[in-house]
Structure 1
Amino acid sequence: MEQQTTRPSRRPQRRLGLTVGRVFGVPLHLDASTLLLTLLVSVLYAGFARRQLELSQLGGYLIGLGFVVALLGSVLLHELGHALTARRFGIGVRGITLELLGGYTEMDRDAPTPRVDLLVSLAGPAVSAVLGAAAVAATLALPDRTVADQLAFQLAASNVIVAAFNILPGLPLDGGRALRAAVWALTRDRHAGTEVAGWIGRVVALGTAAGVVVLTVERVLAPLALPLMLLVAVTLWRGAGQSIRFARISRRFPLIDLARLARPLLPVPTGTPLAEAQRRRAESGRPDAALAVADGSGRPVALVDPAAADAVPTARRPWIAVDAVARSLAGLPALPVGLDGERVMEAVQTHPGAQYVVTAGEDVVGVLHIADLAQLLEPRRKMNT
């Protein structure tokens, strides 16, 4: 399954695989799960090749490994279709990752218009369709029951299936992105397009699971492939759900107002006992205020970490200075108070953290807690505070 991730500046992904180089300037990563893909496909295809071509066991495994390499090459070309089309329209590409279920292209921002979204989405399936057609032509031209003929046939089938499956109109598949673009163009509402394509994506996931079970019962699909195909269905369901959730969150971006959302600062002098600082906050009438450590001139220089403060036993708080559970303001990410919702989300997900300093010029005017932002964006979701 091939897909794209194009949300701007999302949280950095922890890569478990290997960066193997660049293709047309695009970083290429191999996820650790490609090892499982290599083993699984090599074993399955080796058995098929031995039966069809009367090969030795070693010969079957070598042919199976060759098929894996050709298959990953096809996936890479598919993803390059997305990546190079995106770059053509000025969208930066952070990298391509090949993994167990295919691959994905990570872009640094969403398409600016429905037309661009449609073209980028369809570029990958178009490449797979061309590869499939070329492999079909090669299959017809090559002698029957030869290694080259069988490899060409399997590549033809793989690319045609990939192109056909990815064009299904449900997120996170490429066809779902195309549907989103169409709904976006008709309604002028990108979020509506994402939700529609997300819900249809859930239908596609259920249909995939049902189809896999039927094909296995009818012995069209090898039982060994059942877990992998069901994993595809589960991944589709989760991806569709994430798309729906993201659309709903994105609708609320305009509600982000740092001037109202940021908690006020309550400065206390350096060396103040933690218990005393907490008492002053309770008496201030703003129990949600962020405790700050002030220097001799009254300027805030550090921020008390709520988690670290809560971890101090109550009996010890009169003997622990606020400085011991505080972080320097210089080490915290800063958000200008006038930043709009989209830019706030980009900054937060580029620099994940629990607290952010809200500034007006050189002055610190408040502290944004990530829990407050999450509560604003998903008011019905239970938050850990």
Structure 2
Amino acid sequence: MGSMEQQPRPRPRPARRTALTVGRVFGVPLHLNTSMVLLAVLITILYAVFARRQLGLPPLAGYVIGLGFVVSLLGSVLLHELGHALTARRYGIGVRGITLELLGGYTEMERDAPTPRADLVISLAGPAVSAVLGAAAVAATLALPDRTLLHQLAFQLAVSNVIVAVFNLLPGLPLDGGRALRAAVWTLTRDRHLATEIAGWVGRLVALGTAVAAILLTLYDVLVPLALPLMLLVAVTLWRGAGQSVRAARMSRRFPLVDLSRLARPLFGVPSGTPLAEAHRRRDAHHPPGAALVVVDAAGRPVALVDPARVAAVPPARRPWLAVDEVARSLAGLPALPVGLDGERVVEAVQTHPGAQYVVTSGEDVVGVLHIADLAQLLEPKRKMNT
């Protein structure tokens, strides 16, 4: 399954803690997710059983052939994703990398396509590559002698590439066909957010259809039972991706509401060495409780931010005897956001540097502190937040 991940987007980036960077292809970083090990084992076993039955090969040869098929399949997925990546570059969109994982792969781009036409062309580039590979494999299958090793490998590559091309053209996000649907609706409505939301809901229908089809095909012995969990995992992944697309569209609509000058909490400074309880008493007497408590130097400049999480861990009985410095973090170690940054850039910066608090600056001056919970509440007012 191929897909594209674009920035900025109001959700966490795909985690790379479990991915291994293996090099670059045409200058694009290539990552392998550790889930590929599971895929390699599963497909190797399935294909080894198939090869032994069809070709009468010994077990070891079957597993070697199965592993070779996995490598060929990964190459096909990589070429599919390169279709997205290289086409995106032609439209001036940077590509952060390509990741191959359990269910295929995805291409992570630095920003959205600028026009519906660009979105459509970039989306269809991947399936087009898979279709060409599938056609070439079909031609090789017809040309090679039947019931031979090369014939079976060509046949399986033909089937896999055709399935990848056709499945990715289904009209629902996060599939490539969903992006094509979004481009079409975007063209008609001139509203990218609405188009994304519609394509996301259609993607949920595609996910449900995939699950139902997998179960029915298994019941009618068209799909081997061992493949059913993988297909259901595909359906669950599609459902989650579609839901994230709907969520992203709703959040993106609220980007213009992000105004750091109003959203950032004001500062209340206390000198270094002030007892924690006394610092809170002074702040509450002069500012609302939500004001950010900071430690200031002798010149009155803020140098450290009192961390609410660390404060909460201090028993009330200790607070009169504990200096604010003990529960403060240096402002130099916190990400900074210029006060004039628009909503889209704020979200991109937050995703690039995840954290709970951000320093809001005007020139060289610190003018406030942004709490990520406040930004989340603004972008998703109906979503329950952990407190």
TM-score > 0.5 by shorter chain: yes
The correspondence for 1:221, drawn from 223, 228, 250, is 223
* Structure 2 residue aligned with 1:382: 384
State the partner residue of 1:316. 318
For 2:125, which of 120, 123, 126 is the aligned residue?
123
CA contact (8 A) 1:8 1:107 kept: no
Q: Secondary structure at the match of 2:293?
A: strand
Residue identity (%):
79
Partner of 2:202: 200
Residues 48 and 63, structure 2, Cα contact 8 Å, conserved in 1 = yes
- Preserved contact between residue 295 and residue 325 of structure 2 (Cα < 8 Å): yes
Distance in 2 of aligned mates of 1:130 and 1:189: 33
Aligned to 1:154: 156
Give 1:260 deviation, angstroms.
Answer: 0.7
Separation in structure 2 between the aligned mates of residue 57 and residue 339 of structure 1, nearest angstrom: 62
- Report the Cα offset of residue 121 of structure 1: 0.3
Q: SS of the counterpart of 1:104?
A: strand
Q: Deviations over 1:239-268 (max 9, x none)?
A: 000000010011000000011111110111
Cα distance in structure 1, aligned partners of 2:234 and 2:314: 46
Q: For 2:231 and 2:368, locate their aligned partners in 1 and report how far apart those are by CA, in whole Å.
A: 50
Q: Distance in 1 between matches of 2:22 and 2:359?
A: 38
Q: CA deviation at 1:14?
A: 2.9
The yes-or-no answer on 1:364 pairing with 2:369 is no
Shift of 1:364: 1.3
Equivalent residue in structure 1 for 2:53, among 32, 51, 54: 51
Tell me the equivalent position of 1:133. 135
Residue matched to 2:88: 86
**1:340 alignment partner, one of 339, 342, 362:** 342
Note the C-alpha offset of 1:285: 4.1
Instruction: State the match for 2:7 in structure 1.
Output: 7
- What is residue 109 of structure 2 aligned with on the other side? 107
- What secondary structure, in the 3-state scheme, does the structure 1 residue paired with 2:268 have? strand
Q: Secondary structure at the match of 1:63?
A: helix
Give 3-state SS (helix, strand or coil) of 1:302's partner.
strand
Residue matched to 2:261: 259
Contact 1:111–1:117 (CA under 8 A) maintained in structure 2: yes
* Cα distance, 1:217 vs structure 2: 0.2
Aligned to 2:306: 304
SS at match of 1:27: strand
- 1:26–1:95 Cα contact (<8 Å) kept: yes
Give matches, 1:160-309, under 5 Å: 160-309=162-311
Q: Secondary structure at the match of 2:288?
A: coil
* Cα deviation digits, residues 344-372 of structure 1 (max 9, x gap): 11111111111111111121111111100
Partner letter of residue 23 of structure 1?
V
Amino acid at match of 1:6: Q
Distance 1:154 1:180 in 2: 32
Structure 2: which amino acid aligns with 1:213?
A: I
- Give how far 1:304 is off: 0.5
Which stretch has the larger CA shift, 12-21 or 247-256? 12-21
State the SS of the aligned residue for 1:312: coil
How many residue pairs align between the two structures?
385
* 1:182-222 CA-partner distances (Å, limit 9, x unpaired): 11111111111110000000000000000000000000000
The one-letter code sitting in structure 1 at the alignment partner of 2:69 is F
Secondary structure of the residue aligned to 1:36 is: helix
Query: Are the counterparts in 2 of residues 11 and 351 from structure 1 also a CA contact under 8 Å?
Result: no
Q: Partners in 1 of 2:244 and 2:162 — Cα distance?
A: 27
The DSSP-based 3-state class of the residue aligned with 1:358 is: strand
CA distance in 1, matches of 2:285, 2:327: 21
Q: Contact between 1:293 and 1:301, CA under 8 Å: does it hold in 2?
A: yes
Q: By how many angstroms is 1:17 displaced?
A: 2.7
Find the counterpart in structure 2 of residue 352 from structure 1: 354
- Distance in 2 (CA, whole Å) between partners of 1:25 and 1:257 is 37
Alignment-mate amino acid for residue 2 of structure 2 = E
For residues 95 and 299 of structure 2, the distance between their equivalents in structure 1, rounded to whole angstroms, comes to 47
In 2, Cα distance between equivalents of 1:104 and 1:343: 23
Instruction: Please say if residues 16 and 33 of structure 2, whose CA atoms lie closer than 8 Å, have aligned partners that are also in contact.
Output: no
3-state SS in 2 of match to 1:364 = strand
C-alpha distance in structure 1 between counterparts of 2:67 and 2:349, whole Å: 43
Contact 2:8–2:345 (8 Å) recurs in 1? no
Residue 94 of structure 1 aligns with an amino acid whose one-letter code is: R
Describe the superposition over 1:273-328 as per-residue Cα deviations: whole angstroms up to 9, x where unpaired: 00001111222241110001111121111111111111111000000011111111
SS of the residue aligned with 2:382? coil
TM normalised by structure 2 equals 0.98
Any gaps of 5 or more consecutive residues in structure 1? none
Q: Could you tell which deviates more after superposition, 5-14 or 174-183?
A: 5-14
SS of corresponding position for 2:383: coil
1:30 & 1:140 partners in 2: Cα distance?
33
CA distance in 1, matches of 2:335, 2:146: 64
Matched, 1:16 2:18: yes
Q: Write the distance in 1 (CA, Å) between the matches of 2:237 and 2:287.
A: 48
More off after superposition, 284-293 vs 10-19: 10-19
Code of the residue aligned with 2:32 in structure 1: it is L
